[in-house]
A and B are shown apart, each in its own frame.
Chain A
Amino acid sequence: MTDLSEKTSYPSSWKKPPLIKRAWLRYLLWFGAAIYLSLAFGTMEVNWDRVAEGIPRGQKFLAAFFPPDFSSRWDSILDGMLESIWMAVIATVAGIALSVPVGLGAARNLAPLPVYLVCRSIVAISRTFPEIILAIFAVKLFGFGPFAGFLALSIATVGFFAKLLAEDIENMDPVQAEAIRSTGASWLQWINYAVQPQVMPRMIGLSMYRLDINFRESAVVGIVGGGGIGATLLTSFDRYEFDSAAAILIVIIVIVMGLEYLSGYLRKWVQ
C-alpha cells in the first residue's frame, strides 16, 4: 500500500518472457540448427548437367500427355474406376466397422488400462505402415487383385479412424457423460446416449474424408498389384500410352474433387 503513495518508478518497457528461459540453451539450439541445416544442404549433391538434360525430357513427357485420350481405353478406364470406387467404399465401411470397437477401447476415459494398451497398439501398428506397404504385404499373401487392395485399405482405415475416434471420445464433455451414468444407464446405453451424440458429427465428416483418402490410395495400391484404377494406370504407363494415362489422371482428379465437395457439404449439414 505504501508503495503506491511513494513515487516508485515503474519500468516503461516490457518484453515477453522467452519460451526457453536459459539463454545459453536458446542460443545453442539456434546455433545447432543453423549448422545442421547448412551441412544438410551441403551434402545434397545437385548434378546440374542432369537437371539440364531432365528439363527438355520432362517437357517431352508432359507433351505426350496431351491431348488426353479418353476413348481408346475407355472400357478399361471405366472398369478400373468402378473397381476402385467399389474397393474404396467397402474398405471404408469395413475399416470403420472394425474401428469402432478399437476406438472405444483406445479411449482412456472408457477403457481399463489393459484394453487401452491393446487397442492403442493396434492403432499404432496399423499407422506405422503406409497403405503401399500394407498393399505389398497383402499382394504377397493373397495374390494380385482388388482383394489385396481392399485389405490394405481397410487396415489403414482402422489406424486412421480408430485413433481419431478415440481422441474425440477423450475430448468429450465429461459432465454429459456423468449425467447419463447417474440415471442408472448400462454401459451400452451410456455409449449410445452420452458418447455417440457427442462424437457423431465429426465421425460422419471423417468417414467421408476417409472415403476420399481410400479412393486416392486405391490408385497407389493398384500400382503394386492391388487392382483398381491403379492397375489400369500402370498398364497405360507400361505401354507408353501417356494420353490414356492423362485421361485416367483427369478422371481421378474429378472424382476426388467431387468427394471433397460432398464431404464438405455433409460435414456442414451434420453440425
Chain B
Amino acid sequence: MLSLKSVSKRYKTGDLALTNVSLDIPEGQVLALIGPSGAGKSTLIRCTNRLVEPTEGTITLNGEDITALSAWGLRKARRRMGMIFQEYALVERLTVMENVLSGRLGYVGFWRSWFRKFPAADVQEAFRLLDRVGLKHMADKRADELSGGQRQRVGIARALIQDPALLLVDEPTASLDPKTSRQIMRLICELCEERHLSAIINIHDVLLAQMFAKRVVGLQLGEIVYDGPPDGLGPDVLTQIYGEEDWEATIDKVEDEDDDEETSEPVASA
C-alpha cells in the first residue's frame, strides 16, 4: 500500500539523513521504526507526507506517486496520511474541538473553516472520536489545559478524523510516563486494527516496539539495518542498530513486562 523506493534525503547542511531506503508496507500493518537519535526516523516519516522533501527516490501511496504531486495534489494526498507527534503538536490556544476538527481542513473550504462551520457529519465524527479516546467532556477546553496523555489522545483523534489510510506516528510516547505510554500505544494499535490502517511508528523504546508491533525496522545512520519480526531483535541486532551495550537485560525484561501488562488498567475503551 505504501512503498518507498530508494529514498534519500540530504539536508542543506550536507547531512545525509536517509540513504537509499526502500520499504513496502502492506495494508493494515503496524510497523515500528527503531533506531538511535539522529538515525533518520523522523526524516523518514516526514518524507512520506513531504513535510520534508526527499532528495531522491519515489514514494507511492495506493499507487499514487507522492513525490510527483503538485501542491493541490499533495494536499489531497496528505488527507490520507494522519500524523501523530512526539510533543502532541496540538495548537495550544485552540479548543480541543477545534484541534480535532482541524483534521478536516483538507476537506472543507476556507470560509467554512474560518467560521468554524464544519459539516454536521464532521462534527458528529469529532464527538464520536473524542468519546472513543475518552475525552468527550473536554471538547470545549483549551488544548493547553490538558495533561500529556490527554493531549496525545486529542492528537490521535485529529489524525483519525482525516479518515486516513496510513498513520505516521512520530515518537508518540517520548514525553509520556511509562504507563501512559503503554496506554497510548495500545490505543493506537487498537484503532489501527479497527480501521485496517497501516502505521509507521517511530519509537525510541525497544520494549514498546516489541510489545505492540508485528514488524520492526531498525534504522542506523539513515540506512535500514534490520527488518523483521519483533522477536528477532537479539543482542547482536540491537548492537548493530544502537552500538555496543549489554542488551540481555532489555530483552529479558520484555517477557516480565508482558506479564504484568495484563493487570494494567484498560484504557479508553469506554
> Residues of A with Cβ closer than 8 Å to B?
173, 175-176, 178-186, 188-190, 192-194, 197-198, 200-201
Contact = CB atoms under 8 A, between A and B. Distances in A.
Given A184-B162, A192-B114, A175 B78 contact: no
A199 to B, nearest CB: 10
Nearest to B103: A183
Contact of B93 (A181, A184, A192, A198): A198
Contacts, number: 81
B85 A179 contact: yes
Contacts of A192: 110, 113-114
A178 B162 contact: no
A193 B143 CA distance: 13
Contact of A182 (B78, B91, B94, B114): B78
Contacts of A184: 74-79, 105-107, 162
Contacts of B107: 184
A175 B162 contact: no
A106 to B, nearest CB: 22
17 contacts: A173-B92, A175-B85, A176-B90, A179-B158, A182-B78, A182-B83, A183-B102, A183-B106, A183-B162, A184-B107, A185-B102, A185-B105, A185-B113, A189-B105, A197-B93, A198-B91, A201-B93
Interface string B84-102: 0101011111100010001
Given A183-B103, A197-B93, 4 more contacts: A178-B51, A184-B75, A184-B105, A189-B113
Contacts of A181: 51, 78
Chain A interface secondary structure, helix, strand, loop or mixed?
A: helix
A179 B91 CA distance: 8
Contacts of A179: 83, 85, 89-91, 155, 158
B93 A180 contact: no
B110 to A, nearest CB: 5
Contacts of A194: 91
B72 to A, nearest CB: 9
A197 B76 CA distance: 24
Nearest to A201: B93
A40 to B, nearest CB: 46
